[in-house]
Structure 1
Amino acid sequence: MPLNPKITEWRGKTAWLVGASTGIGAALAQALHAAGATVAVSARSADKLQAFVDEHPGAIALPLDVADPVALREAWRQLVARTGCADLVLYCAGTYSPMRADAFDLASATAQLHTNYLGALNLLDAVLPQLLAQCASGRGAHLSFVSSVAGYRGLPLALAYGPSKAALINLAEVLYLDLRPKGLGVSVVNPGFVATPLTAQNTFAMPALQTPAQAAQAMLDGYAAGDFEIHFPKRFTRMLKALRLLPARAYFSLVRKGTKL
């Protein structure tokens, strides 16, 4: 039985993607537009958003910084004024800088926390009242968050990134418990390695690397199935899920051997 209402038809629906200038967000914006949705895109890069709008008739650009709660509330106000509602609100803003404990960088760690997690709280503050009212009126809505398999358990080089993504997974689980009974769908997306400007920083081999377009299709498939957790590629993510079940000694040993980091 699906944990969320299945979203199989996007025509006539509105989707707001926060963090959609590159990578997974940009690819999903293209896929949703092709499926007939009205797509609103947000990020700091106003020029990239405008380029998307120029190439995708009917799309809406709402440039903002997720660290600014006032900007998020104003963007949401503008979107509702133009479209009346949003059927999907997706938080896909993210940043990543590899970090080891012997080279700890507080500024970088704080920046990753602000973008990867605290920005999602700013978004919730902006959209939740309207989305709940929308659900109470009989028109559903869906909140979705792009996290990462790096949030499952501790991994080398993810000293700041991993904890921020773990927090996002936990947030989505709590939101599901609180909001699903009120009619609001909630999901979390946990990709493996996807070829984006962020993963281009990695100097190690990235198994089961996918393209942003493949990631976008996996997300659409997950929404269509009514999944709570959308994870991909399965051949990689299922292995990491199995590792979560191991006791600490075995887990640490396997990670050290497997990553050589």
Structure 2
Amino acid sequence: MGKPNPKLDDWRGRHAWLVGASTGIGRATASALHARGARVIVSARGREALESFVQAHPGAQAVALDATDHGSMLAAAAQVRSLLERQPGARLDLAMYCAGHYKAQRATEFDLDEMLCHQQINYVGALHLIDAVLPLLRAQGGGHLSLVASVAGYRGLPNALAYGPTKAALINLAQTLYLDLHEMGLGVSLINPGFVATPLTAQNAFRMPALLTPEQAAREILAGWAAGDFEIHFPKRFTRTLKALGLLGDGLYFKAIRRATGS
């Protein structure tokens, strides 16, 4: 992807806003950032989960929002700016979109409402965050925007009819944002996890290879930011295999996926 991002390796006193931080990867990453000295702002719809995070992480702030509602996101961004303005010299160092929705779906059980629900939470919500924070990051002349997609966005997979396309859209979006913003001094990173034990993946009835805990995922993410990586994908033993499969022609790819998944 060319030059690396500005490295984020010292979080002491830095401000991070994570949207979708009530559970799973988002919550674990917010906790890891707090442990590194960051001043963390967590957002999600669940107020109780946010408050429990704040109680367990002194100094953290909670701003409830609905990522699918543009007005709600703009109002939350105004609150975040207000929090920053109360601290001389403070700026928004990281905005991370980690809200997500997943329900297995196949074409034989096509559900338009579910397709659109995935789109609104997984993709449109990210657009709402970008619209809310990009003017601030550009005015600052720096900062970092990070989007959580998935290896399910690399190529088509069984049961991912609703989920996969939204993550593919996020991958393309992050790549284009990087091309547009890197020369302005803004960092952009794309996070593509494999299987992580979260409330979303708990519904899977199949064995999930190379399953990680949210805490392990958070460590991988922080290491990627510290290295200045654009794409942060993990666990490597799993994601590299999927990347290799992605290089196959369609016929070979479909055959390999059917053999691997029994679909």
TM bucket normalised to smaller: over 0.9
Residue 259 of structure 1 deviates from its aligned partner by: 0.6
1:204 & 1:250 partners in 2: Cα distance? 23
SS of 2:121's equivalent in the other structure is helix
Does structure 1 residue 237 correspond to structure 2 residue 239?
A: yes
Aligned residues of 1:2 and 1:227 also touching (Cα < 8 A): no
Aligned-residue identity in percent: 61
Residue 80 of structure 1 deviates from its aligned partner by: 1.4
> Which residue in 2 is equivalent to 1:89?
95
Does structure 1 residue 52 correspond to structure 2 residue 53?
A: yes
Moved over 2 A (4+): none
Flag the 1:62–1:10 CA change in 2: closer, same or farther, 3 A.
Answer: same
- Tell me the alpha carbon deviations over residues 194-228 of structure 1, each in whole angstroms, 9 at most, x when there is no partner: 00000011111100000000000000000000000
1:99 & 1:230 partners in 2: Cα distance? 26
Number of residue pairs aligned between Structure 1 and Structure 2 = 257
Aligned residues of 1:66 and 1:122 also touching (Cα < 8 A): yes
> Which residue in 2 is equivalent to 1:162?
164
Report matched runs for 1:26-175 at 5 Å.
26-84=27-85, 85-135=91-141, 140-175=142-177
> Which residue in 2 is equivalent to 1:218?
220
- Tell me the alpha carbon deviations over residues 32-74 of structure 1, each in whole angstroms, 9 at most, x when there is no partner: 0010000000000011001111111110100011011111111
Question: Which amino acid counterpart does residue 64 of structure 2 have in structure 1?
Answer: P
Residue 231 of structure 1 deviates from its aligned partner by: 0.2
Q: Which runs of 5+ in 1 are unaligned?
A: none
> Which residue in 1 is equivalent to 2:88?
none
Aligned residues of 1:142 and 1:186 also touching (Cα < 8 A): yes
Aligned residues of 1:2 and 1:225 also touching (Cα < 8 A): no
SS of 1:195's equivalent in the other structure is coil
Report matched runs for 1:173-212 at 5 Å.
173-212=175-214
User: Given the two structures, how large is their TM-score scaled by the length of structure 2?
Assistant: 0.96
1:82 & 1:103 partners in 2: Cα distance? 46
RMSD: 0.8
1:71 & 1:183 partners in 2: Cα distance? 28
2:4 & 2:262 partners in 1: Cα distance? 38
Residue 2 of structure 1 deviates from its aligned partner by: 5.2
Question: Which amino acid counterpart does residue 160 of structure 2 have in structure 1?
Answer: A
